[in-house]
């Protein structure tokens, strides 16, 4: 009986891992499949428990409550989303190079995702390349490696690039959000808005000839469109980097193509259009 339960538990954990659920959201385990889970109680450490003390007026020991834990000096509440966006704009504006931008982003504390991610996922490839690809956010493999598009979707992207004669030495790759959201969830609009100034400055500093938005969230954020990716993909847009106008195009995200392989024919058309634009 116990062996069957252990096997079921291992299979459930394997399912969670494949689904990307690998971040804790509480300090204590909770059996959410139980019909009536027992109430949780907070455990007080022995050092913080109430201690008997002598009362001179009564000549006996009385119990007094333990003191409240001291507030850490210098601790400040997190900034509001609006304040974080303004701080991000100011910080990104001060970066004179991609190297400086990466250092500034590594010190930036306005986005809470940095506290749950393993590391910053800034970019990969050649920053002097003529084409730049921008996705949405890192996943589990990217969070481990510190590079964008290195998991299954990254391997598919490599094959797609090779089909038009490109590789990671001839492209530049980044994301709207440089930290992995817990459990591979979609970044919130606030998180994307806070990180966006850094991405815009990154595009401006890289100054590619062609910008490729990978997936709907990237296209909607960078190209200011509201249509879904199937309506947006394959269309050319004029994108202002801040110093000049470049061509931009949206295409299907490799992760979507892994789930919908029949749509690879659409992505192939987009990549042929990218190849033609780079040859012009």
Q: pLDDT tens for residues 146-174?
A: 999 999 999 999 999 999 999 999 999 99
Distance separating alpha carbons of residues 183 and 137, to the nearest angstrom: 12
The bridge status of strand 51-55 relative to strand 172-175 is: unpaired
Q: Which domains are present in the chain?
A: 81-279 (3.40.470.10)
Residue 140: Cβ-neighbour burial (10 angstroms; 0-12, 13-18, 19+): middle
Helix (H) or strand (E) holding 84: helix 81-93
Lowest mean pLDDT among 28-42, 97-111, 168-182: 28-42
Give strand ranges (E) for 121-261: 124-125, 131-135, 172-175, 210-214, 236-240, 245-251
β-sheet bridge partners, residue 175: 135
Q: Do 142 and 216 contact (CB within 8 A), yes or no?
A: no
State how far the alpha carbon of 101 is from the alpha carbons of 2, 59, 83, 97, 182, in Å: 54, 67, 19, 6, 24
DSSP 8-state secondary structure symbol assigned to residue 58: T
| Mean pLDDT rounded to a whole number for the chain | 86
Query: Hey, is 236 helix, strand or coil?
Result: strand
User: ∠ CA(103), CA(169), CA(157), 5° rounding?
Assistant: 95
pLDDT of residue 9: 72
Distance separating alpha carbons of residues 36 and 58, to the nearest angstrom: 47
Q: Do 130 and 209 contact (CB within 8 A), yes or no?
A: yes
Per residue in 44-103, pLDDT tens? 554 444 455 545 444 544 554 545 444 445 445 667 889 999 999 999 999 999 999 999
Nearest to 271, CA basis, from 131, 153, 82, 148: 131
Q: What are phi and psi of 134, to 5 degrees?
A: -130, 120
Q: Do 88 and 198 contact (CB within 8 A), yes or no?
A: yes
pLDDT of residue 30: 65
pTM for the model: 0.74
């Amino acid at each position: 009986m116990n062996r069957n339960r252990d096997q079921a538990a291992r299979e459930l954990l394997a399912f969670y891992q494949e689904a990307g659920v690998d971040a804790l959201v509480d300090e204590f385990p909770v059996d959410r499949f139980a019909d009536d889970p027992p109430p949780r109680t907070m455990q007080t450490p022995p050092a913080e428990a109430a201690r008997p003390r002598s009362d001179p007026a009564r000549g006996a020991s009385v119990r007094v409550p333990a003191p409240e834990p001291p507030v850490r000096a210098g601790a400040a509440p997190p900034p509001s989303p609006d304040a974080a966006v303004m701080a991000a704009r100011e910080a990104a504006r001060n970066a004179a190079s991609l190297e400086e931008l990466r250092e500034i982003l590594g010190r930036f504390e306005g986005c809470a995702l940095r506290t749950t991610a393993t590391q910053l996922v800034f970019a990969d490839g050649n920053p002097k390349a003529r084409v730049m690809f921008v996705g949405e956010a890192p996943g589990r493999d990217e969070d481990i490696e510190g590079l964008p598009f290195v998991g299954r979707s990254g391997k598919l992207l490599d094959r797609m690039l090779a089909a038009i004669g490109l590789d990671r030495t001839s492209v530049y790759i980044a994301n709207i959000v440089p930290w992995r959201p817990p459990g591979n969830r979609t970044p919130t609009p606030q998180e994307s808005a806070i990180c966006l100034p850094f991405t815009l400055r990154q595009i401006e500093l890289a100054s590619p000839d062609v910008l490729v938005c990978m997936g709907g969230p990237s296209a909607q954020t960078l190209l200011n469109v509201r249509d879904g990716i199937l309506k947006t993909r394959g269309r050319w847009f004029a994108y202002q980097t801040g110093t000049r106008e470049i061509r931009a195009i949206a295409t299907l995200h490799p992760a979507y193509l892994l789930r919908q392989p029949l749509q690879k024919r659409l992505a192939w058309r987009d990549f042929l259009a990218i190849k033609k634009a780079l040859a012009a």
